[in-house]
Structure 1
């Protein structure tokens, strides 16, 4: 079909106009889109009564151990098990975590250590679940920072023994709001790193 020259030239701009419209829509919705990247990682559940709370390693700002202490205070669990790999200067992580919690007013008798030599969440899960099985526990709360929970949940569910019920409880990330992670340097680092791990974890990286 024959089109006048001017009309053909108008059609040529349609892909560019569509692209600009899409870019404008993304920019307009940028807060919702960026926020959803972080909220997708948070699969935290309401806490339930259980036999123990297991605190995963790595909460160096204390957010995980303090969340677990609050769970004891609220009557959800009587015991806190701290995953304790070797961290700074060859020291087991349980010691500093317990000391920090006690300084915040929690009872030292609530805390017990699961010493291990893990360097990844996958290795940590093996050590933690082995200890949980040895203790004969059937229901536990697993506590980690909100941005870590989706990856941790996938790994722990893969390795959990039959009959063990696990509830994943989120601790708030330190220093930033989860859905506003892009507004702070700490948030940008944490969410970028966690998404990198989510993408590469299935390949054993």
Structure 2
């Protein structure tokens, strides 16, 4: 029972990290209990050991070799920037306790501002997340506007907020409506590299013409030189694949 519970705890940690689960405590407890029960019976214990061993081998392959380079690169779409009507900075995540942008969100914002400063477009959009996941979390758009005002107290970019968004599809719909109302013909789309190809496809499905200009990746080295980089890459690849699968079966991707 203790051995099964230990395997269940390890699987819970993997699920919480690799799957970016929003409630890891409950899932961890469930897997510990399930592993403990499975460890009591010979047949279920054998299945548990074989499954955990197979998973360990697959993860070891990802950590010890650059096998993830090809699937990771397949997620990215990078195009040379061109003159456009607006720069759309897709929302990422915010630390609710500290009211700070997480590193991918800050990287996206700074990349969008760099494009504005280079003269590619006069307008920058920021996203206001909905209250579905956390009604008490500070609004990302407010934090981003404060950063922009701090960097450019005068003569900064024209900032437009995409209000009440939960997913990239919501952002694409807001931009579609803005494009129709303001006559935007072409936008520069700024997001994380691993999210860029999927995001460009979502915007295209809404009839929005985009040029994908991803922000620098800040969570890991995209060339995957170290096991730690490969671990974060595994998390990213799994998230993107699961998002695609979830959409295909009728669900809504989280971002």
Match of 1:15 in 2: none
Match of 1:172 in 2: 216
Larger of the two Rg values belongs to structure: 1
Moved more, 87-96 or 65-74: 87-96
How far the C-alpha of 1:167 sits from its partner, in A, is 0.7
**CA distance, structure 2, for counterparts of residue 113 and residue 107 of structure 1:** 16
Q: Is the 8 A contact 1:182 1:188 kept in 2?
A: no
Equivalent residue pairs, number: 175
Moved more, 92-101 or 179-188: 179-188
Match of 1:204 in 2: 250
Q: 1:96 aligns with which of 120, 143, 168?
A: 143
Structure 1 pair 195–100 and aligned structure 2 pair: CA distance change class (3 A): farther
Which consecutive residues of structure 1, in runs of 5 or more, have no partner in the other structure? 1-25
Q: Is the 8 A contact 2:127 2:165 kept in 1?
A: no
Report whether the alignment pairs 1:140 with 2:187. yes
| 2:164 aligned counterpart, secondary structure | coil
Which consecutive residues of structure 2, in runs of 5 or more, have no partner in the other structure? 1-60, 94-101
How far the C-alpha of 1:48 sits from its partner, in A, is 0.6
Match of 1:189 in 2: 235
Match of 2:174 in 1: 127
TM-score by length of 1: 0.73
How far the C-alpha of 1:36 sits from its partner, in A, is 1.1
**CA distance, structure 2, for counterparts of residue 102 and residue 183 of structure 1:** 35
Q: 1:34 aligns with which of 68, 82, 87?
A: 68
Q: Is the 8 A contact 1:39 1:179 kept in 2?
A: no
Match of 1:68 in 2: 112
Which one scores higher on RCO, CA 8 angstroms, separation ≥ 6? 1
**CA distance, structure 2, for counterparts of residue 71 and residue 201 of structure 1:** 31
